Amino acid sequence: MVYGVTLAIEWSANDEEIMGVRIPVRGNEGGDAPLPSFLRSVVTGKYLYVDKNILGLSSARLLVSHGVDVVVLEAVDRVGGRTLTVHPPDDDPSVPKFGWADLGASYVGPSQNHILRLCKELGLGTYLCSDKQDFIHYSKGRQFCYQTTWPNLWWSNPLAYLEVVYMCRLMDNMSKEIPLDKPWKAPRAKEWDKLTVQDFLSRHCWTKDGVEFLLALCSNNNTADGHEMSLLYYLWYMCQGGGLLNLWSVKGGAQERKIMGGSQQVCLKMAEQLAERVHLNQPVVKINYSTKGVCVQTLDGTEFTGTHLILALPPPLQMKIHFDPPLSSHRYGLLQRSPMGLVLKCIIFFNHPFWAEKGYNGLVTCNDDIEVVGLATEDFKPGVQLAGMICFMYGNQALRMANKTEEERKKKVCQTLSNFFKTHAALKPVHYMDKIWSQDTYVGGGYTCYYPPGVLSKYGPAIRESIGGCIFLAGSETALQWTGYMSGAVEAGERAAR
């Protein structure tokens, strides 16, 4: 849901344990690693970052440590991008002390080395998410409990259960054929890019239950409906995250940990270090570029000049900027065909964890169109007594609920949780908050953008292609691993800065 950058200058073969995970670390036997020639060439000029997120802040932080003059331009009055951590106000006794709440990106996993490294550098710890007790899959008004990785559909439809297992393995194997850096070069890229995910499932599945569950899984991962998304893109996304099992898992997977105190701390701590180099409330409206450098103009008429620029915006937002000279036809074609996903994230608090008292973990998947929540999960935080539940609404669910009032959304969510857990305790929350990411002017949606059929095979090379040799594209959308996650942001930034 965010993008960012950590620059890895020179790495040793030695490993270090970071938060329980073995990952490579920077060699420092001879002091600070030297800057590569590309970065040394801009030391005497200004390096501009048009962003609102981890990417620009972390890359700027590293460049500053090597004497580079940088400017970070932020469109709104806060840093963080698609990370947003909320704290209870000290002066309002009516709001319970819930510790903190992440309304944006929050999860980190053991193979997400880039964000784990950055957290360690900033002194931020992580904590484990629970995978104990029973999970729930909710469909057609019925509750199915399971303790396996995949919802056990056996008792409702044995054939559907076998079909889901088979199709997940099939798609994982298909995804391994896709080059991470050039998915449009896959042997069957054109064939797969002509199909939507729903087309593919309809052709290969025998049961309605199997199709519905796999489409719900697609929406949970990508915040878009299966009929909107290219099969090639979905397989590429799976490959970037290590397969469906890794994307879906808690222990050992993408949802294993969270950042203590909230994920927005990553950006806040870096912004504090960069101090006056970060300019808030400076949305960029125009970029002039040539072989001599870059000139950026913001909404209030302020101009910033530099030798190079890293553009760390979601593709749809880049369409709001006037480029002179104009972008290439391939670049514009890509931007015009890269919609953001639709997601509404809410967190609701209760005096006690009624789900745990009934023997449930709190994780619920749902493919029932009547309900407004596609995924629910416990919001456990160490040292915080108040019980929290996170609910996600995707695609059509988010669209239906976005125009409701907050009070209407709260009632709908509570009723849905009551249906999930078969208890009236869900109807008695003590606090509710949510974030409609599609209504955030300078984000436009989440977790990330997706590609409809025909886009990757035709316009894919423009995803990471620099503009004029002086503007470099970054952000989670350009990542080779973990796109849509904080770690993908960091990894993408390393590539852009190099």
Overall average pLDDT of the 263-280 stretch: 92
- State the binding site for FAD: 74-75, 284, 477
Q: Percentage of residues in the chain with pLDDT exceeding 70?
A: 87
Topology given in CATH for the domain delimited by 85-131+253-261+340-439:
Polyamine Oxidase; Chain A, domain 2 (3.90.660)
> With bands split at pLDDT 50, 70 and 90, how would you rate the model's confidence at 13?
very low
Residue 16 has pLDDT above 80, yes or no: no
**CATH number corresponding to 156-248:** 1.10.405.10
Question: Which pLDDT score, from 0 to 100, does residue 86 have?
Answer: 97
State the DSSP string of 229-274. SBHHHHHHHHHHTT-HHHHH-STTSTTSEEETT-TTHHHHHHHHHH
Q: Which amino acid is at 372?
A: V
- Give pLDDT tens digits for 317-346: 999 999 999 999 999 999 999 999 999 999
pLDDT of residue 47: 66
pLDDT bucket at 140, cuts 50 / 70 / 90: confident
Annotated binding site: 74-75, 284, 392, 477
| 3-state DSSP helix/strand/coil % of the chain, to nearest 5 | 35, 25, 40
Q: Does position 420 have pLDDT exceeding 80, yes or no?
A: yes
194/203 Cα distance (integer angstroms)? 14
Predicted confidence (pLDDT) per residue in 468-486, tens digit: 999 988 878 899 999 999 9
Q: Is the pLDDT of residue 64 over 80?
A: no
Asked whether the predicted pLDDT for residue 10 surpasses 50, the reply is: no
- The predicted pLDDT at position 454 comes to 98
CA distance 484 to 237: 9
Contact 145, 134 (CB under 8 A): yes
Query: In the chain, where are the structural domains located?
Result: 11-79+268-338+454-497, 85-131+253-261+340-439, 156-248
**Mind listing the pLDDT tens digit for each residue in 70-115?**
888 999 999 999 999 999 998 888 899 999 999 999 999 999 999 9
Question: If pLDDT is split at 50, 70 and 90, which confidence band does 296 have?
Answer: very high
> pLDDT at residue 448 above 60?
yes
Of residues 337 and 41, more confidence is placed in: 337
Q: Cα separation of 164 and 154, whole Å?
A: 10
Lowest average pLDDT, out of 52-66, 84-98, 334-348, 433-447, goes to: 52-66
Distances (CA, A) of 52 to 3, 62, 314: 9, 17, 10
For 11-79+268-338+454-497, CATH number?
Answer: 3.50.50.60
Q: What pLDDT, on a 0 to 100 scale, did the predictor assign at position 367?
A: 85
- The answer to whether the CB of 277 falls within 8 A of the CB of 51 is no
pLDDT of 113 reads 93
CA separation for the pair 18, 56 (Å, rounded): 23
- Spatial separation of the C-alpha atoms in residues 136 and 426, rounded to whole Å: 15
Query: What is the pTM for the complete model shown?
Result: 0.88
Q: What is the DSSP letter of 467?
A: B
- Cα–Cα dist 68/54, whole Å: 18
Tokens of 133: 């007790």
Known binding-site positions for substrate: 392
Per-position b or e across 457-477, b if 16+ CB within 10 A of its CB: bebbebbbeebbebbbbbbbb
- Return the pLDDT at 17: 41
Counting DSSP H helices and E strands in the chain, the numbers are: 17, 23
